[in-house]
Structure 1
Amino acid sequence: MTNSRRKFIASSAAIAAGAAASVAAPVSPAKSKTPLVHHVFFWLKNPGSVADRDRIIEGLKTLRKIEAIKELRIGVVASTEKRDVVDNSWAVSELMFFEDLAGQATYQDHPIHQKFIKDCSHLWDKVIVYDAIDV
């Protein structure tokens, strides 16, 4: 029951993020310059470690050098009202926008992304990725 609830909450968060992104920049899908949204959530091995959280954030900032990424947002859990539908169990998130699937594929194999994984993967316990395209 708890696992299904977590999946529902995580899915709801991703849908809400996608909806917020589309409202923030209203454009018709045919003219969208960033139709692929890549949202990643990280859970730390040491959840209370500010140093580990900051190291992942610094690593994520290096990804801005990858040309395929059109926009990159990095966030931490907001101190919003506690509700059943809000999942605040993660520590760091990244929200990326790509022009197309090819751009996202380029990012996945890019040496800077691979270096980020090599340098920071020992800091996280779990990662969940939500990819969406404009419709």
Structure 2
Amino acid sequence: MSTHNRRQVLTAAAALAGASIAAESAAAPASGKGGKELGGKATTPPVVHHVFFWLKNPKSKQDLDKLLAGLRTLAGIETVKAIHIGVPAETEQRGVVDASYSASEILFFDDVAGQNAYQIHPIHKQFVADCEHLWERVVVYDVKPAPLS
């Protein structure tokens, strides 16, 4: 898969994952971390930080478990309003599906300032210090809502 196609696939995956979480939030009552009420429906915060990780040792369950445990600590950061941590789903393999990554995180923030605060937060810094030796590659997509018109 070309770099251009891979970027399109990962962008589409980020958008689909965000839509999936938004639908899940809309189906459940809003809570402190699950979204805000808007017209009787739950909504997710508007700034999305989606990160894909490729492990140096992708077959190591121990390395994956350590990465996932580290990712879970990020929920403790005050500006993180919702979090989704996952691994590639066992969906049908199609040309547009890139399941080469080891794990993914999707974090939701109320605004860019919240995402900026997350980047320098001690919990985030500790996560990087504890886990960066595990990955060989990281790809980040920061997304905001598109204009309505």
Name the CA distance, whole Å, in 2 between partners of 1:114 and 1:63.
10
Residue aligning to 1:48: 59
Q: Are the counterparts in 2 of residues 53 and 91 from structure 1 also a CA contact under 8 Å? A: yes
Q: How far does residue 61 in structure 1 lie from its aligned partner after superposition?
A: 0.9
Gaps of 5+ in 2: 27-36
- The one-character-per-residue Cα deviations of 1:25-75 (angstroms, maximum 9, x if unpaired) are 4576xx956111111110000011111011000001111111110111110
Identity of aligned residues (%): 48
Hey, what does 2:33 align to over in structure 1? none
Is the CA contact 2:22–2:44 (under 8 Å) kept in the aligned structure 1? Answer: no
Q: Distance in 2 between matches of 1:12 and 1:84?
A: 13
The one of 93, 106, 110 equivalent to 2:104 is 93
Residues 92-113 of structure 1: CA deviation (Å, up to 9, x unaligned): 1111111111110000000110
> What TM-score does the superposition give when structure 1 sets the normalisation length?
0.89
**1:78 and 2:95 aligned:** no
The match for 2:46 is: 35
Cα distance in 2 for partners of 1:16, 1:70 equals 19
* C-alpha RMSD over aligned residues: 2.1
Q: Which consecutive unaligned segments of at least 5 residues does structure 1 have?
A: none
Q: Greater helix share, 1 or 2?
A: 1
Shifted more, 5-14 versus 58-67: the winner is: 5-14
CA distance 1:126–1:20, change in 2 (3 Å): same
SS in 1 for 2:58: coil
SS in 1 for 2:140: strand
Structure with more relative contact order (C-alpha pairs < 8 Å, separation 6 or more): 1
The answer to whether the 8 Å contact 2:22/2:43 transfers is no
Count, aligned residues = 134
5 Å-filtered alignment, 1:1-135, equals 2-25=2-25, 34-135=45-146
- Give the alignment's TM-score, normalised by structure 2: 0.81
